[in-house]
Structure 1
Amino acid sequence: MELHDLKLMLQKHLTDGLVTIVGSGLSCAEGLPGMGELASHLDTTVIPGLAAADRDRWTAISPLISAKGLEAALLEVPPTPGLETAIVTRTAELIASRERQIVAEVFSRTRTLRFTRLIKQLLKPQTGLPIVTTNYDRLIEVAVEEAGLGVDTLFVGHFAGELNEAESRLSFCREVTLRGKQVQYRYRLRANVFKPHGSLDWYHRDGKPVRYSGDLDLPRLIITPGLNKFRNGYESPFDRHRERANAAIDRASRFLVIGYGFNDDHLETHLTPRIRSGVPTLLLTHTLSANALKLVAECPTVIAIHRAELGGIAGSSVHVAGVETFFSGLALWDLGAFVAEVLEP
């Protein structure tokens, strides 16, 4: 395949009915910690302040992390409630600290997020651009606002904002007109951001989920790797965001998948079957996970682009309908390079 033909194919993919799935790979590309760094951070910070039983449980988990990875270790040896709370706290601290540095650069105009550049090139439906992310950080929200769009997260209010889907949607209404007997609403262009694993700005207050953008010395509502993913995923606000994410996936005409490994059970019950049914999918990632490799091999409607080397020269490997092509010197798997090479004039 020639590069020109590939670019035309990729441009045609990003049309109506697009749902974007964002995994941790995009956050890592911007400088947030990956699973390996998170595991190391937990290993050095989680023990202080734990009760004896919680320390013993971490002692059993810790050796498994280097051998099997953090999530597999937590699944094999479930954390105690006290240890689970400590893991959530330490995870949030690390991600929030790194996020602050990145957001400060964006605020001072010394950095443009990759996702901001992408959003500027996508079609913006009046109902909102659906984005599903398993990430806790707020870089997607920041990137969308930097591109000039509003962000609908189903919460309303700045201080202890409440989860209220209808109020959140109506807050973007800019005009109401009556044509005959029909009422028409005009909304601000926006992205609908669904976060089934939670967000750094979600807390509990009086037994209800609230959103507060600052840092509080309180537990944040995030689902960390391990067994609590299955339990907490069915509590508010995770349940509503998961339902809206799955509904968007079910309606999608095509997918753009960025830095996501197809390893999340909450999404896979809807996402993978839709892709297997023939929904056109473009996958950009540094490395194809085992599940992603299987999808690419079995689904001819998946275009996958990942990092590769040939003869010691780095480039991009592109899988289209069972044919793999290497493009030397091009990092098309990286969202920033993809936008520059394929979408920007």
Structure 2
Amino acid sequence: MSDLNFKKQAQDYYGKAPLIILGSGASAAHGMSGMWALANHLVANTDISDLSDAEVEAWDKFCQVLKDGVDLESALHKVAVTDELTSRIIKATWSLINAEDIHIFTESLQNQAMFPLSRLLRHMFKSSLTKLNIVTTNYDRLAEYACDQERLHHYTGFTHGFFRQLAAPNEMNSARRVNIWKVHGSLDWFKSPLEDIVALSNIQGIPVNYRPEIVTPGTQKYHTTHLEPYRSIIHNADQAITAANSYLCIGYGFNDEHIQPKLMARCQRQNTPITIITYSLSDAARKLILDGKAQNYLAIERGATDDQSIVYSSLDKTPLTVEKNIWSLEGYLSLIM
């Protein structure tokens, strides 16, 4: 496989106006904590005061599982935690990710070129497109900030403003719009004292009597995502995935049950093209894409250094090592623009 072949393949797939899937790697590129850093933060900062003896015992067991090297999601599956302990884990998670998110937002005020995603969206809208879809498992608002820097309206399931309430997609009209389907919730979503879900823009702390609406890994995830607004968000994400002619996965590890089934069905049964750019291909990505039945794929991961990339393509069974960075979003843009 030559450079020319995978560049043309990248451009062909991109030319089909891909649905964008953002995973944790897309945020890690901006310094957001990954699962390991979050696990360490939870062990050190989760409030366990006034818990029952059984809850403290469960918490100690959970911490020990993490210290034994088990990843966060697996640990939360292994140890049964009560609703109260889950609530405290969510608050500790929120405090870490929100502080990092606001720090990045503040930095972006001084740096108009901070988000490669901004340039990608701008380039995609140079066509006749009026709507773009982003599906993400991330809680942070980096996709929203990237839209703002390009003066693009975005819709996440809520009205505009500072105190935002749930709104159907047809309530929010604009000439061009980016739909951001956040299947695990968002830092600005809260359950109010009235028990409805609202969104509060860029606040520093959790308001009294409000609860963050983010879905942490573990068994609670499956219960929570059957409730609103997750049910509608996942439904809309499913529709976007089903309608897409191509997929661009950025830092996505292929480990989420809410995105995977329809995505893989499209790639394997209907040969929908998929491009993956990431720091390191996950085991799940290798199994589903490289070793699976995906017919049209281009996967690029980092090589031995930041300035080296390894390219896997459905056009050739042999991976190609390229001596430049095309595995990051910034690098990928050099292939398609």
Question: TM-score when scaled to structure 2?
Answer: 0.91
1:166 shift after superposition: 4.3
Provide the residue aligned with 2:90 in structure 1: 88
1:325 shift after superposition: 3.2
Identity %: 30
**2:158–2:199: 8 Å Cα contact kept in structure 1?**
yes
Aligned partner of 2:326 among 326, 332, 338: 332
1:267 shift after superposition: 1.4
Provide the residue aligned with 2:295 in structure 1: 300
What letter matches 2:198 in structure 1? Answer: V
Provide the residue aligned with 1:268 in structure 2: 260
Bigger shift: residues 114-123 or 323-332: 323-332
Provide the residue aligned with 1:253 in structure 2: 245
Query: Equivalents in 2 of 1:54, 1:320: separation in Å?
Result: 49
1:167 shift after superposition: 5.3
Listed as ranges, the gaps of 5+ residues in structure 2 are: none
1:2 shift after superposition: 2.4
User: After superposition, where does 1:136-215 map in structure 2 within 5 Å?
Assistant: 136-166=139-169, 168-170=171-173, 172=174, 188-205=175-192, 206-215=194-203
Query: Equivalents in 1 of 2:155, 2:47: separation in Å?
Result: 38
Query: Equivalents in 2 of 1:267, 1:78: separation in Å?
Result: 25
Listed as ranges, the gaps of 5+ residues in structure 1 are: 173-187
Provide the residue aligned with 1:181 in structure 2: none
Query: Equivalents in 2 of 1:156, 1:331: separation in Å?
Result: 39
Query: Equivalents in 2 of 1:303, 1:141: separation in Å?
Result: 27
Query: Equivalents in 1 of 2:267, 2:321: separation in Å?
Result: 25
2:224 counterpart of 1:223: no
Provide the residue aligned with 1:319 in structure 2: 312
Query: Equivalents in 2 of 1:103, 1:258: separation in Å?
Result: 20
Provide the residue aligned with 2:58 in structure 1: 57
**Secondary structure of 1:120's aligned partner:** helix
What letter matches 2:184 in structure 1? Answer: H
Query: Equivalents in 1 of 2:94, 2:306: separation in Å?
Result: 37
Query: Equivalents in 2 of 1:112, 1:168: separation in Å?
Result: 31
Query: Equivalents in 2 of 1:157, 1:163: separation in Å?
Result: 10
User: After superposition, where does 1:28-47 map in structure 2 within 5 Å?
Assistant: 28-47=28-47
Provide the residue aligned with 2:15 in structure 1: 15
**Secondary structure of 2:308's aligned partner:** strand
**2:9–2:298: 8 Å Cα contact kept in structure 1?**
no
Question: TM-score when scaled to structure 1?
Answer: 0.89
**2:267–2:295: 8 Å Cα contact kept in structure 1?**
no
What letter matches 1:244 in structure 2? Answer: N
Provide the residue aligned with 1:109 in structure 2: 111
Provide the residue aligned with 1:133 in structure 2: 136
Query: Equivalents in 2 of 1:244, 1:313: separation in Å?
Result: 36
What letter matches 1:198 in structure 2? Answer: G
Query: Equivalents in 1 of 2:303, 2:8: separation in Å?
Result: 22
CA distance 1:203–1:125, change in 2 (3 Å)? farther
1:281 shift after superposition: 0.4
**1:287–1:307: 8 Å Cα contact kept in structure 2?**
yes
**Secondary structure of 2:124's aligned partner:** coil
1:157 shift after superposition: 3.4
Query: Equivalents in 2 of 1:99, 1:313: separation in Å?
Result: 24
What letter matches 2:228 in structure 1? Answer: S
